[in-house]
Amino acid sequence: MSKTAPASPAVSPVQQQGEPGTSAPHTAAAVSFRARRRRPGMAVLAAALIAAGGAGGFLAWQKTGERTPVLAVTQSVAAGDVIEESDLTDASVSLDPALKPFPAGERNTVVGKRAAVALVPGALLSHGQVTDRSLVQDGEQLVGIGLKPDRLPATRLSAGDRVLVVYTPADGSADQGPDTGGGAAAQAPTAVSARVVRVGEPQQATGDLVVDVAVPEVQGPGLAAQAATGRIALVVEPGGNS
């Protein structure tokens, strides 16, 4: 009589996954998945950081994209000249904090004042470029002197430069300076210290130009008389270039 081996008891799938002592990989994965799902606060924090970063980027873009109406120069204005309405225009620009141009709304406060430095077309007009003071001070006179190209330095002159206006004798003459009417030409000063107020544009044909200088009022008439003869030259004093 043959004997049949007893059948092994059936094990349910639930017992295979949940029996103590078993090491099925599915159990560890399930535990890890459940642990991650138990941290909803991290997801909220990440979403908040992303939103904050996006908002900050938008604000930075909006700030840099802001444009401010300011005053700009449309025509060349020499130092010392009065600024007129036609010399200015409005410009809308994105400003660097280091720049301090006049707001467009202050146009009326600028017109009628003088340019403290030479103004060039296309530049923004800043506070340091405008003054309400005359460049000719009390006790001074303004004298215009015409100069040939070989009677002044090649270095460009600017308003505020300190110069010497030198009297030059006529050809074959020992004249040292202008005759003041008392027959004392030989005792007249051979040079006058002056300050450049304005430099004109050179004439296209000859290159001659007119330089306005401020001198002590007692020397103004004599300098004007000498300048009329054309026997004059300009020397920049040491440290005189501004």
Does residue 201 lie within any of the structural domains? yes
Q: Which residue has the higher pLDDT, 2 or 208?
A: 208
Q: Does residue 173 have a pLDDT over 80?
A: no
CATH, residue 118: 3.90.1210.10
User: What is residue 48's predicted lDDT score, i.e. its pLDDT?
Assistant: 63
* Number of neighbours of residue 232 by Cβ within 10 angstroms: 22
* Number of neighbours of residue 98 by Cβ within 10 angstroms: 5
Number of structural domains, the chain? 2
Q: Which of 21-35, 117-131, 137-151 is least confident?
A: 21-35
Does residue 198 lie within any of the structural domains? yes
User: What is residue 111's predicted lDDT score, i.e. its pLDDT?
Assistant: 93
Does residue 6 lie within any of the structural domains? no
Tokens of 6: 């007893």
Q: How confident is the model at residue 184 (pLDDT cuts 50, 70, 90)?
A: very low
Does residue 9 lie within any of the structural domains? no
| Radius of gyration, CA atoms only, the chain | 43
d(CA 235, CA 194): 10
Instruction: List, for residues 51-94, the tens digit of each pLDDT value.
Output: 566 555 545 544 555 788 899 999 988 777 889 999 999 998 88
Q: Are residues 149 and 127 in the same domain?
A: no
Q: Does residue 185 have a pLDDT over 80?
A: no
Give the DSSP letter of residue 233: E
Q: Are residues 116 and 152 in the same domain?
A: no
Q: Are residues 179 and 231 in the same domain?
A: yes
Q: Which residue has the higher pLDDT, 15 or 231?
A: 231
d(CA 215, CA 30): 98
What residue numbers bound the domain in which 209 lies? 140-236
User: What is residue 159's predicted lDDT score, i.e. its pLDDT?
Assistant: 81
CB-based contact 177:185 (threshold 8 Å): yes
Question: Which amino acid belongs to residue 230?
Answer: G
User: What is residue 225's predicted lDDT score, i.e. its pLDDT?
Assistant: 92
Burial of 194 (0-12, 13-18, 19+ CB in 10 A): buried
Give the DSSP letter of residue 126: B
Q: Does residue 21 have a pLDDT over 90?
A: no
Q: Which residue has the higher pLDDT, 76 or 45?
A: 76
| Largest pairwise CA distance in the chain | 168
CA angle 146, 147, 149 (to 5 degrees): 150
Enter the pTM of the model.
Answer: 0.52
Question: Which amino acid belongs to residue 39?
Answer: R
